[in-house]
Amino acid sequence: PYVIVCNHQASLDLMGMVEVIPDRCVPIAKKELMYMGMVGWACWLTGIIFINRHKREDAIDVISQTARTMRRENVR
């Protein structure tokens, strides 16, 4: 398992990142993207993990749980 951290500046950067990110990688995105119509549905259907950046504790919990799952199951 591994973690790649990307700080993109525009929504279109995601398309470029998809080309270089390995196949077994699942992005973590801000929860606001989930409410952007078709983009949100596409993100949800592809398995993107959403975090609430406004609630620090919730975001830390989601990321910690994801890291534990990665280590336990030795998967993406």
- Give pTM, 2 decimals: 0.62
| Among 60-64, 67-71, 72-76, the least confident range | 72-76
Residue-range definition of the domain harbouring residue 35: 22-73
How many separate domains does the chain show?
A: 1
Q: Is residue 17 part of a domain?
A: no
Residue 12 above 70 pLDDT? no
* Alpha helix ranges (H) inside 1-76: 13-20, 38-45, 56-73
pLDDT in tens, 33-62: 888 888 888 888 878 888 888 888 988 898
Q: Is residue 31 part of a domain?
A: yes
Q: Is residue 7 part of a domain?
A: no
Q: Is residue 14 part of a domain?
A: no
Q: Sorting pLDDT into bands at 50, 70 and 90, what band is 11?
A: low
Q: Is residue 10 part of a domain?
A: no
